[in-house]
Amino acid sequence: MKVIVGQLVMDLFQVGKTYEVGTQSKDGQFDIYNQCQVKEKVSGRILLEVYEKNDEEVIGVEWVDWETVRTVKEV
């Protein structure tokens, strides 16, 4: 059986649900999206509507690549 890791990560997210997501960029920067809602999933990328990031209130949207996701928790 062949497992596609990217698809497994993408399957952790459901459009419309709210999550806490930890990401780590290639340069080692670690970010916590404390509260965000998944708006869309496209080609290995997740569009998040962000309400709180790194313990600071933020309102906006950000695309996140599946490869940067380190932690996921539904809230």
Q: Are 21 and 12 in contact (CB under 8 A)?
A: no
Instruction: Report residue 67: phi and psi, to 5°.
Output: -65, -20
Q: What is the pLDDT of residue 4?
A: 87
Q: What is the pLDDT of residue 41?
A: 98
pTM for the full predicted model:
0.90
Q: What is the pLDDT of residue 2?
A: 84
Q: What is the pLDDT of residue 1?
A: 83
User: Fold for domain 5-74?
Assistant: SH3 type barrels. (2.30.30)
Q: pLDDT tens digits, the chain, 75 residues: what are they? A: 887 899 999 999 999 999 999 999 989 999 999 999 999 999 999 999 999 999 999 999 999 999 999 999 999
